Amino acid sequence: MYLARHRRRRAGRGTLGLALAAAVLCAGGLAVGMFGLADVTPASAGATLTPASVTTAMPRERHDPQVRPLARSVPVHIRIPAIGVSAPVTRVGKNADGTVQVPPLGDHNLAGWYEYGAAPGQRGAAVILGHVDSLTGISVFFYLKDLRAGDRIYVTLADGTVAAFAVDGVQKVAKTAFPTAAVYGHVRYPELHLITCGGPFDRASGHYLDNIIVYAHLV
């Protein structure tokens, strides 16, 4: 999922989810179409390979009844030890056409928090997006598909709090069947959803055909 070259298609919170996830993080797509690079290929074939543990089934989301939701505070950094991620987080909103914005294409170690949803740790679904790769190398969420249930995700908030999450599972979905309600819908507990691109790469369109979604709960 290469943010820099992908098309954004998310819209408002409901529709937003669907468009967002699918279009938001797919590497190469936009650039290819817009600049006419007919034979563009991703930097590494690794993004197209998905572990057998990642299926199209949505993981069972859990919650810790002893955990209290946090106050809303803007996320500024994300750390995922299991896959070596340590990156700043910027806010992303919507473009004039209603699609979701994404982090700058040239910054491979930058994730984007969808500011119109919940903040990490707050009751609801917080969504953070990241590119998978580009023509010049892998990006922040390249190894997202390798996460396993129980792996920890730490999000530092502007108020100094560190929200810790445990991964429930990883799902691979076709962009054409993006689970908008599950990813962006209203939920009763603090959840974190990470999104990037993956699966087959369509050279004709310059897009990955799938999205990789990580589901996690506050611990």
Amino acid at 186: H
Q: To which H or E segment does residue 173 belong? A: strand 162-174
Looking up tokens 């491979």 gives: 108
Domain count across the chain: 1
Q: Write out the chain's pLDDT in tens, 219 residues.
A: 433 333 333 333 344 433 443 444 453 333 222 222 223 445 566 888 889 889 999 998 899 989 999 999 999 999 999 999 999 999 999 888 877 787 877 789 999 999 999 999 999 999 999 999 888 889 999 999 999 999 999 999 999 999 999 999 999 999 999 998 999 888 999 999 999 999 998 888 888 999 999 999 999
Q: Is the torsion defined by CA of 216, 160, 25, 39 positive or negative?
A: negative
3-state secondary structure of 16: helix
CA distance 56 to 212: 10
CA distance 101 to 99: 6
50 contacts: CB under 8 Å, gap ≥ 6: 145, 172, 198, 199, 212
Looking up tokens 């279009």 gives: 23
CATH number reported for the structural domain that contains residue 166 in this entry: 2.40.260.10
Structure tokens at 29: 């797509």
Q: Is 57 left (phi over 0), alpha (psi -120 to 50) or beta?
A: beta
The per-residue pLDDT for 17 is 39
Residue pair 169/149 in contact (Cβ under 8 Å)? The answer is: yes
Question: Can you give the residue range of the structural domain that contains 202?
Answer: 3-218
